[in-house]
Amino acid sequence: MYVKNRDVVNLDLNDPIEVYYGKECPFDDIDTYEKNPEKLRLLSSHGHNHSIINGVGRIGYMKGGSAAIWKDEDLTDAFLTEAKNFMTDNAEQPFFLYYAAHQPHVPRLPSKQFEGLSGLGARGDVILELDWCVGEIMQHLQKLEILDNTIVIFSSDNGPVLNDGYLDQAVEKNGKHRPAGPLRGGKYSKFDGGARIPLLISWNNHIVPRISNGLISQMDLLASFASMLGVVWKTTRPCVQHEIRLWLQFTFLLNSEGLFGCTVNRYTSCSRGVCCGIKLHLLVPR
């Protein structure tokens, strides 16, 4: 379901939501992976074998909330619309937007316009979908005429993964490509492939494009940008000795792309300032 302003969207109070994560299903009147396999359109490779929602096995058993249930294929448009509306409503004042795109997380069910488009299965399709979403965000900032006054941070919460619980041919379609580049490991791993993640920062006409070998932590971002923007921060300084503000060494030089890339990341494709990854964060300085 969607949660907006701490309320479940379209929830019928006469049909409350119940969720159970135990081993055996306590509800007799719901579809489950074991009881109703004929209703599945995507099979599990491991886990994700409890309730069936939208033809897909999920983690945990859920009952109720039928009017609030979403479709995976509609998530992109729903999240993107909310993000655009927020930017439009706040275009005349400083704002912070945390845009956590669901693609390419499992279950990988692309929107209709991207289904089969990549030729590399569902995983390839949803990566294209994510890339398109980033482009839509950037174009909307341009339309609002605030792109040059907006810092865009693109990053991820973990390294890449192919088989993440569903039989969606991610492994078969991947071929010899190494999603983590030369790094060992990926999601769930303590090796570099799981911990060294993308970080790209864009600020039109301010950041000179370059690659840095510096190491930072996402936990430093909040305090570092607060310091950079002159916001009083009531806690201790960032963990790093030199703030990210110094690490970036922002220079106010004319630059048509305004794109900064950090090489501690796994390989990430970029084109015209639009980059593939998982999370997109926006910050408008004063």
Q: Domain residues of the chain, as ranges? A: 1-70, 73-283
DSSP line for 38-52: GG-SB-BSSS--SBE
Q: What are the start-end ranges of the H helices in the chain?
A: 75-89, 121-143, 170-174, 192-195, 221-228, 244-248
Look up residue 45 and give its two tokens.
């490779």
Say if CB 173 and CB 116 are below 8 A apart. no
> Of 19-28, 45-54, 216-225, which gets the smallest average pLDDT?
216-225
Q: Which residue has the higher pLDDT, 248 or 131?
A: 131
Mean pLDDT along residues 15-44: 96
Say if CB 81 and CB 25 are below 8 A apart. no
Mean pLDDT along residues 217-245: 69
Mean pLDDT along residues 71-81: 95
Q: What is the pLDDT of residues 56-69, one digit of tens each?
A: 999 999 999 999 99
DSSP line for 176-240: T--TTTT----TT-SSHHHH---EEEE-TTTSPPEEE-----GGGHHHHHHHHTT----SPPPSS
Q: Is the model's pLDDT at 266 over the cut of 50?
A: no
Mean pLDDT along residues 95-108: 93
Q: Is the model's pLDDT at 263 over the cut of 50?
A: no
Tell me if residue 151 falls in helix, strand or coil.
strand
Say if CB 146 and CB 205 are below 8 A apart. no
Q: What is the pLDDT of residues 104-131, one digit of tens each?
A: 999 999 999 999 999 999 999 999 999 9
Rounded (5°) CA angle 219-223-224: 95
Say if CB 228 and CB 285 are below 8 A apart. yes
Tell me if residue 88 falls in helix, strand or coil.
helix
Per-residue pLDDT at 231: 81
Tell me if residue 171 falls in helix, strand or coil.
helix
Assign domain 73-283 to its CATH superfamily: Alkaline Phosphatase, subunit A (3.40.720.10)
Strands 7-8 and 3-4 turn out to be: antiparallel
Tell me if residue 213 falls in helix, strand or coil.
coil
How much of the chain, in percent, has pLDDT values that exceed 70?
81
pTM of the model: 0.81
Rounded (5°) CA angle 123-172-154: 30
Q: What is the pLDDT of residues 135-161, one digit of tens each?
A: 999 999 999 999 999 999 999 989 999
Read off the pLDDT band of 244 (50, 70, 90): low
Q: Is the model's pLDDT at 247 over the cut of 80?
A: no
> Of 89-93, 198-202, 268-272, which gets the smallest average pLDDT?
268-272
Per-residue pLDDT at 255: 37
Residue 11: other Cβ atoms inside 10 A: 18
